[in-house]
Structure 1
Amino acid sequence: MHANASLRAWCATTLLSAGLLLSAAPALAADEFGGDWDDPRTADPAVARPPTAHCTVEILDTHFADFDWHYGQIAPPAACPGPWNKVVLEVDGAVKGVQYDRLGYLQIGGMTVFSTSTPEPSREGIQWHVEKDISAYASLLRSPQQVRMYLGNVVNETYTGVIHIKARVTFYNADRRHPAVAAADSIVALSAERRDGADLVGDIALPANAQRWLAEVYATGSGGGCEEFWYFTAPPQADYSCPAQNGPYREVQVLIDGRVAGIAMPYPHIYTGGWSNPFLWYVMPAPRAFNIEPIRYDLTPYIGLVNDGRPHELRFRVANLPDGASGWTLQPNLQVWRDPRRAVTRGGLLSYELTALANDPAYSTLPDGRHQVDTRGGHRLRASGWLETSQGRVITHVDRIVGNRNLHLWDEGEYHDGVKGDWDDTETVTRIGGGLPSLAVNSQSFGFDGLLSFEPVEDHYRVTTRLKIYDDANALQTPAPGTTPLAQVKRNRFDGEAGWNYGVPRDQRHAVGHSTQRHQRFGSQGCYDHEIGQSNGFVDVDKYRCGQP
């Protein structure tokens, strides 16, 4: 029997329908979970706002109880027509009763600007708040646009939680001390977008005077199958409940006319029903669960190959997927800056090197009978391109290095199943010409060390989940025309444990859980250090060491 797989299947069909945590008994914060708990929150910083005149526009107020798009509108307000120093999206959610965690995304003008998952509710109900800096999408907001949001949700006699979402956008005017955001001139979607197996494919025709080109993709493994837990997968010879021919290494790539033009590590998102233990997430979600960040690629070196007025194929791919695998959502957009004083920028590719992907999922059986898959993967992509612009010849060099170390250990039957995963992703972009040389380095390191256990206790199991998560980043950007010097360090840590009895009446589940999150940021944008903690559903630590709002 594969205990891990059995419990995941049970969670997908029975956890909430059994009425988990719907007891009317008062909360027992000091001892164990009761029927109610605090509203979900994180230690993440709010979006910094400039002290300039601003306007707020309500864009959505709706209830999700289906799998349809829900619509709204947005237009630049008369008192804040732009240019803007910052644009901030705020989303408020509320739900009560019985409901799973759900995945959703919000689009403006057909472009995804926000991707999220939802918390699981108590019977009394919960509320939560998320905000995101969407200044990079400013070009979408200069004219009236349709807003639409998808948040697929089952509501029936068992799953009673209708999810209420309200969203608004606040525009902050630019002034002398707070200049306009250096956003792209246009943000465009793929044309003729289609699926080719698991790949997302479409066409792009760049403007003839393009001088900078970025791609974003919101990439999530989801749907409750093995690709939601892709870091647990193991080669078929391991006889693990989630097999994958080449093990757990995943990589999100972008290809231009069949050539790999960008590589990146996907983030191992853990949603609020994840790891078979919602008790761990009721009050404090895992990092990025409420605000799923896109992966970004600088494609500027390739402009000279594709700004010829003809359509070129772009392909977004999750590399190393098992044959026939599903469950990955890919939502891209393309951001383009134009040369304001030239009708055409002529260019080409100077150099290109993609090293071979190292991926070696080594399966072994340890002397104590446990099974192990030790995976080490990664490689490097370097590309340099030139463009003749109104400021002369500009050379852009992009160097990206990605890597993953994944150590998966489990015993016979998967009663004790643990993963320690570490992902590293560093992109270095150097530009020479067009004024001062510039350098931008964005380095991310993230991962976790977790164990899921099913301990037999008399006639039932005690389910325990232990997780330590880190989400770190270092960013450096040197001065260049139109940019501000930047040096920023992020350290985000989550540490939690939760347990409950499976296979017993509701009043004997004796669920307990505690967790902490500490989010630190230091650098040219100031200091922020916030720690929160909860025990059995109630926040008992909330302190700022700096950056208190």
Structure 2
Amino acid sequence: MASPTTSSCLLFLLALLLPHAAVGVPRRHRFPPLQLAPVNASEPPTTFFEVDRPIRPPGGSAGPCSTLLLSDSFGYTYGQPPSAAAYAPPNCLAAARAGGGSVALAVLEWSADCRGLQFDRIFGVWLSGAELLRGCTAEPRPNGIHWSVSHDVTRYAALLSAPGEVAVYLGNIVDQTYTGVYHVNLTLHLYFASTPPPPQHADLILPVSRSLPLHDGQWFCIQSSADVQSKKLAVPSNTYRAVLEVFVSFHGSDEFWYTNPPNEYIEANNLSDFPGNGAFREIIVKVDEDVVGAVWPFTVIYTGGVNPLLWRPITGVGSFSLPTYDIDITPFLGKLLDGKKHAFSFGVTNALDVWYVDANLHLWLDHNSKKTTGGLVSYNAATSGPSVESEFSELDGQFVTTASRHVSATGWVESSHGKVMTTFYQRFSYKNSNVYSKNGVVQVVNQTIDATSGVSSTNGTTLLLSEEVHQVFPLYLFSGTSDEVGDEYSMVSVVKLGINEKRANSSLQNVQSARGSMRVKKNLVISGSGQNHQVYKYIGADGCYFRDVSSKDYTINFDHTDDSCLKRSRDVSSRFPSRLFGGSVDITAHVDI
């Protein structure tokens, strides 16, 4: 029998099968489409993809050496144990290490296909309890679909060098209506360098996750704002650096948390079945009682979200390979080097059921010392918000939510590398505007998350490490319903989202604009259309990549790619003007998109 936590955690999938709220009040943005066109038996499967730059092996590296880790089909897997397979380091890895070489690049490839009708499903991949990849499945069509994800897992070189167990959880339900079975191959590709391993990769990785056996994924399930999940770990006494890598995904009542109105709106309009608690969420990460950092997550939209026809074949930013978030806890090592177990915990502000959260603790060990020492010099975890300004009359109104947070810590660690002072900091700001109009059938969301994090280390005379990343996550969402006839209605959606990221040696602009309309009957899409346009521009010391791609109704309109660093005549900003992430939308102007 599953534990109470697991049983409750699995309930969110069942909620996806329930009818949505009636037209006339805000609704959840999730629909599985029916077959919208006659089946052509000769038509090949459709290839879905997420726009991202290709992973290139370092110059001079040898490989790939490829190993199939797991091959399985996921049909009647809801509430069942993960698919698992023993892992042994490939022979080529042992041979490379014996010759003094190291892993230059490790790529985990997820390759899957499916046909029929099915919801999108979340999946996770773990090695020895440490999560390597989390993603969303594509939604199939009768002739079949295929997609693959190549994920850089070089930072897990220490895990890949030791025997363990691979686990994959993909909870799926198959019945007379939802017939899609996901067939998956998981492959590891290794490339080798003739030099020793670089010091930026951790010597030891400890999973902060649930342990097998389970009838679910190894993630923690956070079901409310009062729900705090934790695991106790002992840190080796010769650790000199520690980074916590956090995985986050949101589902059920909080899948579209950024669209949720405050509880006062829910209560005033007697919408007890509609999710509330406002439009702000943050993941609080603690070690014992100290807040060591926070995650203000990117608003990933899964392949069945808002209007599933928007994401065919170009899927939403981050949906096939969800982003992770690093928190450097080196300043706190002085409290953790006592040989005792310490609690690593996660909570979500204003959470509704359900959030999946776990983490990997990356540790660097001093091989020339049995014991390191340390101390915390300064610490601040100030927060402001969330603050909500609201004004509404019955189902129409506006809610503006703002928040900010600053986390910083400075500490020292003394090892054979000397006495090193490390500072880690985070700065967040958040603004969300939610507007309901036309008796609640139209909702417009404008949101911006601005996040800066950085780490620096010095031995007193030399700057050993200096890294900073600044990310801005803009989001615009328009959703409107009309033409209600019985259990049918029309819905128009516009989604504009992206990531703007700057680091010392690189910059990324990844923006996506999608719009479409559909006719919904009994919570199923019976007709409709969707189009998507995405521009991806990366410039870095390791090269450049540019892609401008557009699709409509499974068909690619154009796809322009360039991997040179030549100056281009048009920038992302010229293709996507400033009003991309703002402005008003008239429902009547988009019904016939």
Q: Over aligned residue pairs, what C-alpha RMSD do you find?
A: 2.7
Q: State the alpha-carbon separation in 2 of the partners of residues 192 and 465 from structure 1.
A: 38
Q: State the alpha-carbon separation in 1 of the partners of residues 519 and 210 from structure 2.
A: 51
Query: Contact 1:4 / 1:417 at 8 angstroms: preserved in 2?
Result: no
The letter for the 2-side match of 1:3 is: V
| CA separation of 1:183 and 1:4: change in aligned 2, threshold 3 A | farther
The letter for the 2-side match of 1:198 is: D
The letter for the 2-side match of 1:52 is: S
Query: Contact 2:436 / 2:444 at 8 angstroms: preserved in 1?
Result: yes
| Residue in structure 1 matched with residue 500 of structure 2 by the alignment | 472
| Residue in structure 1 matched with residue 50 of structure 2 by the alignment | 42
| Residue in structure 2 matched with residue 258 of structure 1 by the alignment | 289
Quick one: which of 129, 151, 175 aligns to 1:156?
Answer: 175
Moved more, 408-417 or 334-343: 408-417
Quick one: which of 467, 472, 476 aligns to 1:445?
Answer: 472
Q: Give the TM-score normalised by structure 1.
A: 0.88
| Residue in structure 1 matched with residue 10 of structure 2 by the alignment | none
Shift in Å, 1:462: 2.2
| Residue in structure 2 matched with residue 188 of structure 1 by the alignment | 206
The within-5 A match list for 1:415-434 is 415-433=441-459
Give a deviation string over 1:149-195, Cα, whole Å, max 9, x none.
0000001222110100101011111125x964731110112488787
Shift in Å, 1:376: 0.6
Shift in Å, 1:21: 2.4
Give a deviation string over 1:390-436, Cα, whole Å, max 9, x none.
12211001111012111111125431112111111111111111854
Quick one: which of 244, 254, 257 aligns to 1:215?
Answer: 244
2:515 is the alignment partner of 1:497 = yes
Query: Contact 2:129 / 2:210 at 8 angstroms: preserved in 1?
Result: no
Quick one: which of 386, 389, 395 aligns to 1:359?
Answer: 386
Q: State the alpha-carbon separation in 2 of the partners of residues 192 and 536 from structure 1.
A: 40
2:83 is the alignment partner of 1:70 = yes
Quick one: which of 23, 27, 38 aligns to 1:3?
Answer: 23
Give a deviation string over 1:9-67, Cα, whole Å, max 9, x none.
9x56xx45xx442633799xxxxxxx998421232112121242221111011100113
2:266 is the alignment partner of 1:235 = no
| Residue in structure 2 matched with residue 52 of structure 1 by the alignment | 61
| CA separation of 1:23 and 1:257: change in aligned 2, threshold 3 A | same
Quick one: which of 541, 544, 547 aligns to 1:524?
Answer: 541
Q: Helix, strand or coil: the match of 1:361?
A: strand
| Residue in structure 1 matched with residue 302 of structure 2 by the alignment | 271
Q: Give the TM-score normalised by structure 2.
A: 0.81
Query: Contact 1:38 / 1:539 at 8 angstroms: preserved in 2?
Result: no
| Residue in structure 2 matched with residue 119 of structure 1 by the alignment | 138
Q: State the alpha-carbon separation in 2 of the partners of residues 457 and 100 from structure 1.
A: 24
| Residue in structure 1 matched with residue 562 of structure 2 by the alignment | 545
Moved more, 508-517 or 124-133: 508-517
Moved more, 342-351 or 75-84: 75-84
Residue ranges of structure 1 left out of the alignment (5+ in a row): 28-34, 477-486
Query: Contact 1:22 / 1:123 at 8 angstroms: preserved in 2?
Result: no
| Residue in structure 1 matched with residue 232 of structure 2 by the alignment | 203
Give a deviation string over 1:452-484, Cα, whole Å, max 9, x none.
1112277753211101111121122xxxxxxxx
| CA separation of 1:26 and 1:417: change in aligned 2, threshold 3 A | farther
Instruction: Calculate percent identity across the aligned residue pairs.
Output: 26
Q: State the alpha-carbon separation in 1 of the partners of residues 479 and 349 from structure 2.
A: 27
2:542 is the alignment partner of 1:511 = no
Q: Helix, strand or coil: the match of 1:283?
A: coil
Q: State the alpha-carbon separation in 2 of the partners of residues 287 and 362 from structure 1.
A: 30
Q: Helix, strand or coil: the match of 1:80?
A: helix
| CA separation of 1:218 and 1:230: change in aligned 2, threshold 3 A | same
Q: State the alpha-carbon separation in 1 of the partners of residues 210 and 164 from structure 2.
A: 21
Q: State the alpha-carbon separation in 1 of the partners of residues 531 and 44 from structure 2.
A: 15
Query: Contact 1:265 / 1:403 at 8 angstroms: preserved in 2?
Result: no
The within-5 A match list for 1:294-313 is 294-313=324-343
Residue ranges of structure 2 left out of the alignment (5+ in a row): 1-20, 212-219, 566-593
| CA separation of 1:155 and 1:390: change in aligned 2, threshold 3 A | same
The letter for the 2-side match of 1:495 is: S
| Residue in structure 2 matched with residue 480 of structure 1 by the alignment | none
Q: State the alpha-carbon separation in 1 of the partners of residues 300 and 51 from structure 2.
A: 17
Shift in Å, 1:383: 0.7
Q: Helix, strand or coil: the match of 1:269?
A: coil
Q: State the alpha-carbon separation in 2 of the partners of residues 533 and 234 from structure 1.
A: 33
The within-5 A match list for 1:126-145 is 126-145=145-164
2:422 is the alignment partner of 1:396 = yes
2:365 is the alignment partner of 1:347 = no
Shift in Å, 1:369: 8.2
The letter for the 2-side match of 1:335 is: H
Q: State the alpha-carbon separation in 1 of the partners of residues 528 and 209 from structure 2.
A: 50
| Residue in structure 2 matched with residue 483 of structure 1 by the alignment | none
Q: Helix, strand or coil: the match of 2:477?
A: strand
Query: Contact 1:468 / 1:496 at 8 angstroms: preserved in 2?
Result: yes
Moved more, 35-44 or 338-347: 35-44
User: How many aligned positions are there?
Assistant: 516
Q: Helix, strand or coil: the match of 1:356?
A: strand
